[in-house]
Amino acid sequence: DGNFAMSGFDKTLDTTLAGAGVGAAYGAVVAAWKAKPMVAERTAPLLLDTAGVIARHAGILAGSAAAFQITKSTVVAMRGEEDAVANGMGGCAAAALAMFRAGAPAALGGCLVVGTAAALVPRVKEEMMGSKH
């Protein structure tokens, strides 16, 4: 029905924005860690470099979060159930996108590791909550 499409869009938007926020925070830590000494006449290039580091990390994690949610929503729509398979496929897509620049072996390894971890989330959640939820 029409509500599923809107609900899927809302979930994707929320997940993407959360990924961007986490990526920006991580990018800020990375930028601070590799900070160069400030020189009075050269402040602008250093600020632009810092902003670039933050934006790159925010973009990568936002894209991965969007890939996760879009893939998961598609699998749920096709199979009719939200389960470990949907989470695993979403995790695989997110990791493959994040590791794409590192090459195919890294993308495949990331897919396997993150996909497996994401597939385990419903099981761990079930164990912690004490019932199927």
pTM exceeds cut of 0.95: no
Query: Does residue 37 register a pLDDT over 80?
Result: no
pLDDT over 90 percentage in the chain: 62
Cβ 79 vs Cβ 85: under 8 Å? yes
**Would you place residue 42 in the very low, low, confident or very high pLDDT band (cuts 50, 70, 90)?**
confident
CA-closest candidate to residue 55, choices 17, 34, 18, 28: 28
pLDDT at 1: 45
